[in-house]
Amino acid sequence: MGLNELTIHAAHELLVKREISSTELTKTCLDRIEEIDDDLKAFVSVTKEKALKQALVVDKQKSFENETLAGIPMQLKDLICTKGVRTTCSSRMLENFIPPYNATVTDRLFDRGAVLLGKGNMDEFAMGSSTENSAFFTTRNPWNLGCVPGGSSGGSAAAVSARETFYSLGSDTGGSIRQPASLCGVVALKPTYGLVSRYGLIAFASSLDQIGPLTRDVKDSAIVMNGIAGYDPRDSTSIKGTCPDYTASLGKGLEDLKFGVPKEYFTEGTEPGVKKALNAAIKVLEGLGAHLEECSLPSTKYALACYYIIAPSECSANLARYDGVKYGHSQRLAEDMWESMELTRKEGFGAEVKRRIMLGTYALSSGYYDAYYLKAQRVRTIIRSEMNDAFQKYDALITPTSPTVAFNLGAKTADPVQMYLSDICTIPANISGIPSISIPCGFDRGLPIGMQIMGPVLSEVELLNIAFSYEQATDWHNIGPSL
Amino acid sequence: MFSREDVEHISTLCRIGISEKDIEPYRIQLSHILNQFEVLQELDTENIEPTTNPVSVGTVMRDDEVQGSLTKEDVLHNAPVRDGDYFRIKVVLEE
C-alpha cells in the first residue's frame, strides 16, 4: 500500500512517530498525480515546488503531535484564493488571475502546516454537476474514465478518490461537494451556512455558498473541519462562538436516535440500484440501534425551482464584477468601454455561466423581481420551516445524495434542466442552511452510490457520529478505484 | 416565454455580447428553464417572510478602526492594462 493511500489520521500517526516525513507523503502524492492525472484531469494546476518547500518547512519546524493536519498534502478547489498561486474558477475569465491574498481557509490550513499540492478542476464558477462546464477540460471519474466525476467540485472528488491527495476543500452551493463525492465514492460534508468562512472564496450565490471538506473517511472529515471551522470577522455571515471538537463524538453510537426517510427524495428519476443501496443502508442503521421511519416533506418539489431562481439571481449580481477593468480577461479591441465590456464577458464566460447570468438578470429586472426572486425567497422560508419542523421529530434525515450513479460524459450536456436534476436531493440543505454529509453506501454497475444524512443547524458533531457509525459497520470506504 | 427581443434586452442589461446565431438557442433554453419555475405559482406566499440568510446572524457591526490593506502594487498586479497607478479603460464619453 502506497503512502498516498493512507487516511489523514493514519498518516498523522506515522508522522508523529517520525516513521515518515511530510516530504515523503508529498512526493508520493506528486508521483501519483504525475502517473495518472493526464488521464484523470483532476488538477488545473499542480504546485510541485511550493508543495515540496512547504513539506520541508513542516518537517524541520513543526511538531506533529498537536496538529493532525501538519505535513498532510491537500488540494483546494480552484475558486479558493491562494496568494501567488493562479486561481482560475476553471474560467477563461480568470485564466491568469493570481490572487494577492489567501482565503481564510487557505490561511487556516497553512497555519496548521498543510501542504498545497495544487488546485482542483471544477465547472466554471461552480455552475454545473459534471465538470463538463470547465473552460479547460473535463475531469474523469476514477471508477470509469468514460463517466463524469460529478460537479461542480469534480476535480476535488476525483483527486481524493484516486488517492492523488489526502483531502480537498470544495464549495457547495446546491450540492457541489456532496454530489461529486457520491459519484466518486468519497465522504463530503457541507457545513451549516456560516460555519466556515467564505472570505477569499470566489462568490457564486452568496446566500447558499459554503466551503466543506472531501475526504476518504468520516474521521478525516471531522479532522479537516477542526482545521477550517470557526468565526471570521471578514465574512459577515460567519457564525460567532467557539466550535466543538468535531472528532469528539465519533463512536458514540446510534442508540435511541430517530431518523426520518423523506419519500419525496426517492423521485421517479431515482435509479433502482440507488434505491436498493439506500434500503440496505437503512437496515444497517436499524441494526445499529437507530429508529427509522418514512416521512414526508411535501415542499421538496419546489426546491429545484426555488434554487434555480435564487442562485442565478445572486450569480448575476456577483459576476457583474468581471468587467475587464481590474483583473481577469479583458478585450480592448473595441470602440468604447461598453463594447469592451460586452466583448470581455462574451469571450470570458462559457455557455452555462452566460445562461445563468441572463436568467438571474431577468429574474431581478424591473417588473419581474417580485414574481421571481422575492417569490423564491418566500418559498425558501416555507421549505426551511418544513425542514426545521422535521427536526423537531427526527435527529436526522436519510436520503440518497444523487438519484443516479455517475453518468457518461456528454449524457446531459444538451439539456440544462436534465443536468439541474442531478442536484435534486442536495439543494434543500443549501436552501435551509443546514449541514449535510454524503458517505459511500454501495455500488451499482461498478460505480459508487452515496447516502446523504441531513441534520438541523449546527448538528455537524451529531452528523459525523451517525456517518461514522454507519461507515464502521460497513466496508465501502475501504474500497478504492483500481485506476 | 422569452421573445428574441427579451434575450437581446437582457444581454444588454448584463453586458454580455451575444452573436445573432445564439439568440434563438438562448431564447429556447431560457424559456424552457422559466417554464420549470411555474410550479411555484401553486404556493400561496402572501403572508410569508422572505429568507435572505437561512441562518441569520443579524446585522454585523464593528468599530471603525484603521486597518492595513493590500498595497497599491498588489491591487494593480492583475490589471489588464495599467497606466502608472491607474487602471486604464476604453473611452467612456465621447470627446
| Inter-chain residue contact B54 with A326, CB threshold 8 Å | no
Amino acid at A132: E
Task: Indicate whether B70 belongs to any domain.
Answer: no
Angle between helices B4-13 and B20-36 (to 10 degrees): 100
Task: Indicate whether B82 belongs to any domain.
Answer: no
Best B34, B55, B71 member to test A by mutation, with max A CBs in 10 Å, is B55
Alpha-carbon distances of A127 from A153, A173, A203, rounded to whole Å: 10, 9, 11
Task: Indicate whether B18 belongs to any domain.
Answer: yes
Strand order through the sheet with A436-444: A43-46, A115-120, A73-77, A167-172, A210-215, A187-190, A436-444, A447-454, A396-400, A258-262, A291-295
Alpha-carbon distances of A362 from A303, B13, B31, rounded to whole Å: 20, 9, 11
Which chain B positions have a beta carbon within 8 Å of A343's beta carbon? 17
Name the E strands within A51-204: 73-77, 115-120, 167-172, 187-190
| Inter-chain residue contact A309 with B37, CB threshold 8 Å | yes
Q: How close A366 comes to chain B (CA, Å)?
A: 11
pTM over 0.90: yes
| CATH 3.90.1300.10 residue window(s) in chain A | 3-255
The three-class DSSP label of residue A445 is: coil
Best B11, B35, B51, B62 member to test A by mutation, with max A CBs in 10 Å, is B51
Q: How close A279 comes to chain B (CA, Å)?
A: 30
Task: Indicate whether B94 belongs to any domain.
Answer: no
- Nine-digit cell at A246? 468535531
Best B15, B48, B74, B85 member to test A by mutation, with max A CBs in 10 Å, is B15
Identify the CATH number of the domain in which residue B39 sits.
1.10.20
Of A21, A22, A152, A316, the catalytic one is A152
DSSP conformation letters of A315-380: HHHHGGG-SSSSSS-----SSSHHHHHHHHHHHHS-HHHHHHHHHHHHHHSTTTTIIIIIHHHHHH
Alpha carbons A146 and A408: distance in angstroms, whole number:
6
- Nine-digit cell at B71? 498595497
Task: Indicate whether B31 belongs to any domain.
Answer: yes
- The answer to whether A435 and A189 have CB atoms below 8 angstroms apart is yes
Contacts of A189 (CB under 8 A, 6+ apart): A177, A212, A213, A221, A225, A435, A436, A437, A460, A463, A464
Which chain B positions have a beta carbon within 8 Å of A434's beta carbon? 54
Establish whether A176 is a catalytic residue.
Answer: yes
Provide the number of structural domains found in chain B: 1
Which chain B positions have a beta carbon within 8 Å of A81's beta carbon? none
| Inter-chain residue contact B43 with A324, CB threshold 8 Å | no
- The answer to whether A396 and A462 have CB atoms below 8 angstroms apart is yes
Of A236, A316, A358, the CB nearest to B26: A358
- The answer to whether A464 and A221 have CB atoms below 8 angstroms apart is yes
Which chain A positions have a beta carbon within 8 Å of B62's beta carbon? 233
Name the E strands within A252-304: 258-262, 291-295
- The answer to whether A100 and B75 have CB atoms below 8 angstroms apart is yes
Alpha carbons A230 and A105: distance in angstroms, whole number:
10
Alpha carbons A384 and A373: distance in angstroms, whole number:
16
Alpha carbons A268 and A426: distance in angstroms, whole number:
16
Backbone angles phi, psi at B93, to 5 degrees: -105, 145
Q: How close A412 comes to chain B (CA, Å)?
A: 14
| Inter-chain residue contact B90 with A309, CB threshold 8 Å | no
Q: In chain A, whose CA is at the least distance from the CA of B12?
A: A342
Domain that holds residue B10: 1-44
Q: How close B23 comes to chain A (CA, Å)?
A: 11
Task: Indicate whether B52 belongs to any domain.
Answer: no
Task: Indicate whether B19 belongs to any domain.
Answer: yes
Task: Indicate whether B67 belongs to any domain.
Answer: no
Alpha carbons A417 and A431: distance in angstroms, whole number:
19
Dihedral sign, Cα of residue B32, residue A124, residue A207, residue A453: positive
Of B45, B79, B87, the CB nearest to A375: B45
pLDDT at position B57 over 80: no
**Could you read off the pLDDT tens digit of each residue along chain A, which spans 483 residues?**
899 999 999 999 999 999 999 999 999 999 999 999 999 999 999 999 999 999 999 999 878 999 999 999 999 999 999 999 999 999 999 999 999 999 999 999 999 999 999 999 999 999 999 999 999 999 999 999 999 999 999 999 999 999 999 999 999 999 999 999 999 999 999 999 999 999 999 999 999 999 999 999 999 999 999 999 999 999 999 999 999 999 999 999 999 999 999 999 998 899 999 999 999 999 999 999 999 999 999 999 999 999 999 999 999 999 999 999 999 999 999 999 999 999 999 999 999 999 999 999 999 998 999 999 999 999 999 999 999 999 999 999 999 999 999 999 999 998 888 899 999 999 999 999 999 999 999 999 999 999 999 999 999 999 999 999 999 999 999 999 999
| Residues B61-70 pLDDT 10s | 889 999 999 9
The three-class DSSP label of residue A436 is: strand
- The answer to whether A437 and A221 have CB atoms below 8 angstroms apart is yes
Q: How close A195 comes to chain B (CA, Å)?
A: 10
- The answer to whether B87 and B93 have CB atoms below 8 angstroms apart is no
> What CATH architecture does domain A3-255 belong to?
Alpha-Beta Complex (3.90)
| Residues A121-130 pLDDT 10s | 999 999 999 9
- The answer to whether A45 and A118 have CB atoms below 8 angstroms apart is yes
